[in-house]
Copies of this chain bind each other. A is one copy, B any other.
Amino acid sequence: MSNHFSYDRIVNFYETDAAQIVHFSNYLKYMEEAEVEFLNSVGLTESAQRTWRRTKIACSFFMPIKFNDVIRVELKVITAARKFIKYGFTLSVRNRVAAKAEYESVLVNLPEEVSGAKTEEFNYQFIEVLRGCENENSACR
């Protein structure tokens, strides 16, 4: 048992580009999909009043991904702090690593002012759930 959440999806034709591989911007979409699935799975579904915003991202690309490939996105909660969550991601195709990434998400209230995101402290229940996911032997999944 581990704290890795795993999400599989097939590559759509429209996600490829003229180099006949997945455009690099779409890797971020795959990570967001996995994040949403993860949050749903631990009961932290987004509401119309709140949304997650990324503040920092780092990604290394190791291998191109093609149309109709099945991508496995493994998500790991690296840090569940009071004001942000830091995730780690590994994207692989047929057990070969295609990309590794990390990003930080903060929860913001909507609507917010143009002048900048108003970060919200998670309520205690959320922190507890996500902190549980930091541990290697958690029951997050």
Contact = CB atoms under 8 A, between A and B. Distances in A.
Given A13-B17, A57-B57, 15 more contacts: A12-B32, A12-B33, A13-B18, A16-B17, A16-B18, A18-B66, A24-B57, A28-B28, A46-B68, A53-B64, A54-B61, A57-B58, A57-B60, A63-B116, A64-B114
A8 B33 CA distance: 16
A36 B60 contact: no
The range of chain A's interface size is 35 or more
A29 B116 CA distance: 22
Nearest to A105: B24
10 contacts: A18-B20, A18-B21, A18-B67, A19-B53, A25-B28, A25-B29, A28-B28, A45-B68, A46-B67, A55-B61
Interface of A: 12-14, 16-21, 23-26, 28-29, 32-33, 36, 40, 45-46, 48, 51, 53-61, 63-64, 66-68, 108, 110-112, 114, 116-117
A117 B16 CA distance: 16
B17 A66 contact: no
A14 B25 contact: yes
